[in-house]
Structure 1
Amino acid sequence: MIPVVTNANDTVDRSGRPKGYEWKAVTLLSLGLGLVGVDRFIIVPMMPVLARDLGLDYQDLGIITGALAVAWGLSSLFTGNLSDRFGFKKIIVPALFIFSLIAGFSGLATGIVTLVLARVAMGLAEGAFTPASIIATMDASPPKRHGLNVGIQQTMPALLGLGLAPLAVTQLLKVVNWPWIFLMVAVPGLIVAYLLHRVLEQPVPAEIATHSTTHDAGTHRWYEVFAYRNVPLAILCQLFWLTCIIVVAALFPSYLVDHLHLSMDQMGLILSSMGFGGAIGALLLPALSDRVGRKPVMLLSAVLAFGAFWIFGGAGANVTVLFLCMMVAMGSLYALLTLTVGPITAESVPARLMATGSGMVIGIGEVFGGGFAPAIAGTIAKHYGIEHAAAVPLYALGLGIVVILLLKETAPIRLRGKTVAEPIAAGGAHVG
């Protein structure tokens, strides 16, 4: 630990970090994850245009979306453990650099094959970045601000990727061709990667252990992460939340334009509510969980999302109602994502399994919820009508509510000295 000087010229804070480290690290990590959201979701409002120019159908749109999610998931499964072994900084910086470049190259796609290949490559890099960046954010934060700061980080993909991107893209399409829009997104990522290289610090495991309910800094085998009850339950939760978000991203633009016969501008406006709602939900609800607990906030969020999708399905072409419903639904879903991959998982396991646990939750959830779900929903839309695929989120949320009830609480304010992260089987999480 770096000694703390207590005069007026202090250059470190009481945690031994350089002064201002928390806000600098959280800001840059949030911008990095925000660019992940931009690179991932910038394709959403372009789906009808891509379908026209590249000859794609609903099933193709589901495959394109699912391919990135599967690659993202497989990458997260392996690189989370690498982050725990070698340090999150060695994963975060190169991953951000690589996926920024590949996102720009997506504009060179000429058909379904090249577009899928570009999205797969981008998903591999983004899958490496995400779990490591979440643990780095928690490490930069005191435990009492885990929910708040991870929420700030998770706000950015929603705000930038789902909020501002649809508005910007629908306007840019009026003046430039869609390949140029992809090429515009590379430069900001390269800048943030450089700044993270300069700012980010890698602590020792003993320091990271203070962010877990186990306070365990020992060495563990990667598979021991499954011995902690919240991890397999969080995987199920992540599968359900991503099913909702990715199905909405892949098919709802076409649902609004083709089924409800809204204009491109109306579609872009409604999609923007996904981002703004997601940003508000990811910021406020996880911060609330620091005060009242993770489980109560997750239950509230799941019920709100279910109700919003229910009303959405019967709203017809009422733009105002569709906008408000999508805002509430995505705000609740982003709060659920934030709590699932961040505090509810990472607080439950030892220090050397935090990125591994988050990576497993993100990875398996992405492969099945983000990868297979939109492909299945796209097939349903193709053969039975897109209005039937739009009901998929209701089933996913209903199952998710049941799983939330089985989770163990991890919020420090609710534990008051209790340890809730014991392995679910005796000897199942021993120090190796």
Structure 2
Amino acid sequence: MVSARKRNLILALLFLGWALGNLDRYIMNYAVLAITEDLNLSASSTGILLSSFFAGYALMQLPGGWLADRFGARKVLIASVILWSIFTGLTGAAWSLVSMVIIRFLFGIGEGGFQPSSSKIISQIFPEEMRARAMSIMLSSGGIIALIIPILSVGLLTTIGWRTTFFVIGLVGIVIAAYYWYYIKLPNDVERTNKQNEIVQRSSFKQLFKTPLMLNLFIAYFSLYAVNWGLATWIPTYLVNVRELNLVSLGWLQTIPGVAQLLGIYISGYLIDKLSKGAEKAAGALACICISILLYLMFTASNVTNFIVFQTIIMLIISFVIILLPAIVLKNMPSSVAGSSMGLVNTGGQLAGFLTPLAIGFIVDAFKGSFNAAFWMLIAFAFICAVSLLTINYQKGQLLTNKI
């Protein structure tokens, strides 16, 4: 057994690492305004740049989960932080679109093992009834970063510039990797369980692809993150180019949805642990339908104030679904394949992170600067997420568990 004190220390370190990963991803959405000018990029090229990270990240999700199940989550976790820190630092040395795309792709490969391995650690050291709350605490670091990044990015980008900013973030990552190596050491009983589960994991890995629950969750992840990353990557550009905000105003206004996202993540973990299986999928579907309606109201808003109000409500609701999806995985799949399960479904989410910014870039170019068609695409994805959650069959999800 892992003591509560040890669990809390490990969770705090996972929180810190996930915060750094989100810092790099979110700051790129603001740095890209300067990068686009320095490298003379079109909207389509900007979309390719924003998507390049997610291409590598998506490709590494399933291998990262398998490696965590096969060789141990701690090893994969540390390797992931080291690799992504190296390529974060190298982002500041990019000299062209091609070099930037390659570096960001490799950064995505490096970070790809973090969520599957950290999720597996949570499933190993926390009892089932506490896992949603543990996930919400770790993922809340993303909400905190979303809250502070508008102001932080303005301060960093206007003082030390985008190149030095990425150098500094890379150095911080190496320090965090050292903390992981020193402090994250799983007790002997957990390590023995890992070894005992190796044979089981090998035989059950293929069964993941035959488990209907995984298909529903894969689609839900893809659809939800299409909305989430479509908004995160392009709203700064949209508000500057279409709504004519300056960078400083943009920074302050975007802290409001950040507060909503942070509150939503903390509240959601507690609520989800209280919901029954039938209630949680219905609540998730209803949340996605609300998101689709609010997206329409947001992009048709007559002024920036109304736009920010609707965006804030959207981020509050999205936070609930973001916590709900991994909670369903961790509560319904055996811990021996927790890393692979998270890697498989999160591949859907990160494929969306790759394809959506890219698609929006081409759509904006095709419609001569208009974002309307892009918003309609996000509305459709929110509805698809609702359908995939509503049609989840938990009994079919027991296919893998029963074989184990």
CA RMSD of aligned residues (A): 2.5
1:230 CA displacement: 1.8
The corresponding residue for 2:287 is 301
1:192 CA displacement: 2.1
Whichever residue aligns with residue 305 of structure 1, its letter is I
Whichever residue aligns with residue 363 of structure 2, its letter is I
Q: 1:373 aligns with which of 356, 359, 370?
A: 356
List runs of 5+ in structure 2 lacking aligned partners: none
Aligned residues of 1:220 and 1:430 also touching (Cα < 8 A)? no
Whichever residue aligns with residue 393 of structure 1, its letter is L
Kindly report which structure 2 residues correspond to 1:93-132, keeping only aligned pairs within 5 A, or say none. 93-132=78-117
The corresponding residue for 1:236 is 219
1:218 CA displacement: 6.4
Aligned residues of 1:270 and 1:322 also touching (Cα < 8 A)? no
1:339 CA displacement: 2.2
Q: 1:331 aligns with which of 316, 331, 336?
A: 316
Alpha-carbon separation, structure 2, partners of 1:330 and 1:30: 20
Aligned residues of 2:81 and 2:173 also touching (Cα < 8 A)? yes
Q: Normalising by structure 1, what TM-score? A: 0.85
Q: 2:44 aligns with which of 39, 44, 59?
A: 59
Q: 1:284 aligns with which of 248, 267, 283?
A: 267
- Is 1:392 the counterpart of 2:377? The answer is yes
Aligned residues of 2:58 and 2:112 also touching (Cα < 8 A)? yes
Secondary structure, counterpart of 1:91 in structure 2: helix
Alpha-carbon separation, structure 1, partners of 2:82 and 2:365: 37
Alpha-carbon separation, structure 2, partners of 1:146 and 1:94: 24
Secondary structure, counterpart of 1:315 in structure 2: coil
Secondary structure, counterpart of 1:42 in structure 2: helix
Alpha-carbon separation, structure 1, partners of 2:122 and 2:85: 20
The corresponding residue for 1:353 is 337
Q: 1:149 to 1:423 in 2, by over 3 A?
A: same
The corresponding residue for 1:415 is none
Whichever residue aligns with residue 186 of structure 1, its letter is G
Alpha-carbon separation, structure 2, partners of 1:317 and 1:183: 38
Whichever residue aligns with residue 354 of structure 1, its letter is A
- Is 1:270 the counterpart of 2:284? The answer is no
1:300 CA displacement: 4.1
Alpha-carbon separation, structure 1, partners of 2:195 and 2:230: 35
Aligned residues of 2:156 and 2:165 also touching (Cα < 8 A)? yes
Whichever residue aligns with residue 209 of structure 2, its letter is F
Aligned residues of 1:310 and 1:394 also touching (Cα < 8 A)? yes
Which has the larger share of helix?
Answer: 2
Q: Once the two structures are superposed, what CA deviation does each residue of 1:316-343 show, in whole Å capped at 9, x if it has no partner?
A: 332x333332222223223322321x22
Alpha-carbon separation, structure 1, partners of 2:283 and 2:18: 23
Q: 1:83 aligns with which of 68, 72, 75?
A: 68
Whichever residue aligns with residue 289 of structure 1, its letter is I
Whichever residue aligns with residue 251 of structure 1, its letter is W
The corresponding residue for 1:158 is 143
Kindly report which structure 2 residues correspond to 1:38-77, keeping only aligned pairs within 5 A, or say none. 38-77=23-62
Q: 1:50 to 1:246 in 2, by over 3 A?
A: same
The corresponding residue for 1:12 is none
The corresponding residue for 2:154 is 170
Q: Which runs of 4+ in 1 moved over 6 A?
A: none
The corresponding residue for 2:346 is 362
Aligned residues of 1:238 and 1:362 also touching (Cα < 8 A)? yes
Alpha-carbon separation, structure 2, partners of 1:157 and 1:206: 31
Aligned residues of 2:212 and 2:396 also touching (Cα < 8 A)? no
**Please, which moves more after superposition, 55-64 or 166-175?**
166-175
Q: 1:218 to 1:381 in 2, by over 3 A?
A: closer
Q: 1:199 aligns with which of 183, 186, 203?
A: 183
**Aligned residues: percent identity?**
19
Q: Once the two structures are superposed, what CA deviation does each residue of 1:190-227 show, in whole Å capped at 9, x if it has no partner?
A: 22222222232342475899xxxxxx966534221123
Number of residue pairs the alignment of both structures matches: 395
Alpha-carbon separation, structure 2, partners of 1:101 and 1:334: 30
Q: 1:253 to 1:36 in 2, by over 3 A?
A: same
1:74 CA displacement: 0.5
Alpha-carbon separation, structure 2, partners of 1:146 and 1:19: 13
Secondary structure, counterpart of 1:43 in structure 2: helix
Aligned residues of 1:218 and 1:351 also touching (Cα < 8 A)? no
Q: 1:52 to 1:353 in 2, by over 3 A?
A: same
Alpha-carbon separation, structure 1, partners of 2:290 and 2:268: 12
Whichever residue aligns with residue 316 of structure 1, its letter is S
Q: Normalising by structure 2, what TM-score? A: 0.90
Alpha-carbon separation, structure 1, partners of 2:306 and 2:119: 34
Alpha-carbon separation, structure 2, partners of 1:130 and 1:376: 25
- Is 1:312 the counterpart of 2:298? The answer is yes
List runs of 5+ in structure 1 lacking aligned partners: 1-15, 210-215, 410-418
Q: 1:35 to 1:372 in 2, by over 3 A?
A: same
1:71 CA displacement: 0.6
Q: Once the two structures are superposed, what CA deviation does each residue of 1:355-391 show, in whole Å capped at 9, x if it has no partner?
A: 1010011123312x11122211211111113322233
The corresponding residue for 1:247 is 230
Alpha-carbon separation, structure 1, partners of 2:393 and 2:265: 21
Q: 1:149 to 1:18 in 2, by over 3 A?
A: closer
- Is 1:28 the counterpart of 2:4? The answer is no
Alpha-carbon separation, structure 2, partners of 1:309 and 1:278: 16
The corresponding residue for 1:134 is 119
Secondary structure, counterpart of 2:322 in structure 1: helix
Secondary structure, counterpart of 2:112 in structure 1: helix
